[in-house]
Structure 1
Amino acid sequence: MVVRDPKRVALGLLVGESGRSAWNKYDLKKRKYISTTSMDSQLALITANMAHAAPGKIFYDPFTGTGSFPIACAHYGATVVGSDIDPRSIRGKADRNVMSNFVQYGLVPQYLEMFVSDLTNTPIRKTRWLDGIVCDPPYGVREGLRVLGSTREDLQKEVLLKSGVPAHLAPGYIPPKKPYSFDAMLDDILDFGYNHMVDNARLSMWMPVANDEDMEIPVPSHPAMELVAVSIQQFNRCALSISVRNVEHKMLTTLAGARRLLTYRRVPEAQVDQEALRTREKREEAIGVTADDLNAFRRKYFQGFKDQQQQQVDSETASS
């Protein structure tokens, strides 16, 4: 509408435009390569934003999967690196893989490398060069957490074939894996950030929050990693009636009330409490053999599920 003979005219300065259009652009329904554990595009963009992804920065996701977080960081201009313990998720198929997603969105210039590795056996040299880390570590609910290694003594040393060739150099070699503690994984992520991130770099990661006080998981801490933000995503308990792509999170919708997005800042070395750092390095590792032994959240999650089933059976028995 045009106003004739206006009495006042207001002028403004455009500081910036909304980035909401990116939500639709990166919608998983339109993405070429996804899996059951692909992070929702909106949450991936929010995570990258909290970690301050930007041009001229290098970001790393140690649990890449199909590359949702690297794509979100690349959207903001960051150069991205990713790894995953499962080579199948990175390789995908001939025409559908992590790289095909970068091609789809025109983000190939931001793609640095994707490789097979786990956080505790990383080929990345121990030096501070990362500007940010973003990840959604596995919760160990659907299947127990594992890392490369073995609890068997005979597999903890180099195994030679009859030909004298080391077994790990043979074609089709599948390395052994051992159970991994969920709490240890959270601590290892912070340790990795401490050892590999530059001053004031940010680490943003997701972790589950249960609706049962007995299942509550404490927020991990580190003397050199300052917790700057805690964002909570509440789960909708009616979500099971709709189509949910992320199976792992779909299961958590049933019993877990929410999940947290934790954002940390790498404290400059001169400001780190060295005594607290030495105390942390002396901490004992979790003792256990099975996935339930090493993952209290997984154990209590399924125990809560069994308790609910038993309550339902008792209720039906009483009513009959």
Structure 2
Amino acid sequence: MEAKSDIGIILMNLGSPDSTAVPDVKRYLNEFLMDERVIDYPYLFRLLLIKGIIVPKRAPNSAEAYKKIWWKDGSPLVVLTKQLQNAVQNDLSMPVEIAMRYGNPSQESAYENLLKHNPALKEVILLPLYPHYAMSSYETAVEHAKAVYQKKGYRFKLTMVPPFYSEPDYINAMAESMRPYLQQDYDQLLFSYHGLPERHMTKADPTHKHCLQVNDCCHVDSPAHATCYRHQVFKTSELVAEKLGIPREKWALSFQSRLGREEWLKPYTALRLEELPKEGVKKLLIVCPAFVSDCLETLEEIAMEGKKSFLASGGDSFTMIPCMNIHPLWVQAVVKWLSALQH
């Protein structure tokens, strides 16, 4: 590796508590849920809701959930992101760091580590590891990276890689990482994406008149699609299914991780897992393309709790297809994108 490369890379993921201890989980949840792009209520109401009600109640339960999936080396999400960093670094001459939107390693530490490589650094390329655009994922990652950058007054240029939900290399890597699991007999493949409040769709719509307002809005061309999570997850699912040759009647889409009582994107994964066996879907494959690295939402919510719910409702077999993690084609895709951005 050239220690004096003028360009540095940061791979940015969501984040994780430092440990499964309740105080660490509480600290993480407070940072995560107090983000105005995650729960976009007025500050004082958000403060009372998060710190007064949600976190005190949720932290012990979340700590127990993390304990179920925690690895010897730490949080699966952080461990897998570090593995991706190492795999990408092996094929790049530019130094590669990782940052988490919430928790550690921080955005500032990533910038500072790159400057240690080369104090005369000219550019940092930030790749948010979110395939799809959402206020509460891609947008908050980018805005946080910019805020830290501006606050510290760094002189290097900051370049952002856009969402890659329909990039051929991402679609190919996603499809090929799934292909071995499709050799088994199955009734349906369910694409389960992280859910969002419906309000976030209309809020992110620059036209203010398309998302959830036009009939079949996700399949009617609009400038809104550039920032529409719902459109983008439909697109990913359609492209991956097409690549794998899966007929339309054999796959479906749903949304997981709902929080609170307001209307979120439907259908809800939790409900579908209870309903599918009654509809004749006894053998289920499920994949979570909103995540590139396995984490609490895939390993505990889907692979453990989702499986339990599906089988208890009459299902026969349930297979969760892992995230891409460090699949060779995914590593190749990241390396290709970053190499193309070198000037």
Q: TM-score, normalised by structure 2?
A: 0.28
Structure with bigger gyration radius: 1
Higher share of residues assigned helix: 2
